[in-house]
Each structure stands twice: as C-alpha cells, then as structure tokens.
C-alpha cells in the first residue's frame, strides 16, 4: 500500500519558507497571492495490505518522526 503523509505548519506558526516563496512569487509578477504556506509530502510504500492498518502505521510514523506535532499538523492518505 502507498501512504502519503502531508505535513504543514499549524495555523499561527511562523512559516519563513512560505514567506520567502510568497516574496519570490510577488517579485515574478504574481501579485494575487495573499499567503503561502510551505510543507512537505512523504510517500511511503508499505508492505501492509490492510488499508486501516497501513493508515495506523503511517499515522504512528508521522507522530513519532515525520511531523513535529507541536508546530505541524499532518494528513495521511492511503491507496491500494
């Protein structure tokens, strides 16, 4: 199973990478962008065949390593 973990800064947390991207976009003439938030996507190829167990494994990985849950939130998507 493939599990995709999307990690993003929580609302209210300073996002310097997002600010830099927003500033660069404005410099390139994309003036209609109000705010940019930058995160990361981790794609896991899991041996688990059961979708519920694969999701539980990916969520445990996100909580323990992939996301700093103090300042980041995460979302897990599983596909067969």
Closest CA to 35 of 55, 54, 14, 63: 14
Pairing type for strands 2-9 and 72-79 reads antiparallel
pLDDT in tens, the chain (80 residues): 999 999 999 999 999 999 999 999 999 999 999 999 999 999 999 999 999 999 999 999 999 999 999 999 999 999 98
Write the pLDDT tens digit of every residue in 47-70: 999 999 999 999 999 999 999 999
Domain 2-79 fold: Mth169; Chain: A , (3.30.1280)
């Amino acid at each position: 199973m493939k599990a995709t973990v999307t990690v993003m800064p929580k609302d209210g947390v300073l996002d310097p990478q997002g600010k830099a991207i927003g500033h660069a976009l404005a410099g390139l003439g994309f003036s209609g962008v109000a705010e940019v938030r930058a995160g990361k996507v981790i794609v896991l190829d899991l041996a688990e065949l059961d979708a519920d167990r694969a999701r539980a494994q990916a969520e445990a990985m996100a909580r323990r390593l992939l996301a700093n849950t103090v300042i980041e939130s995460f979302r897990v998507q599983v596909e067969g």
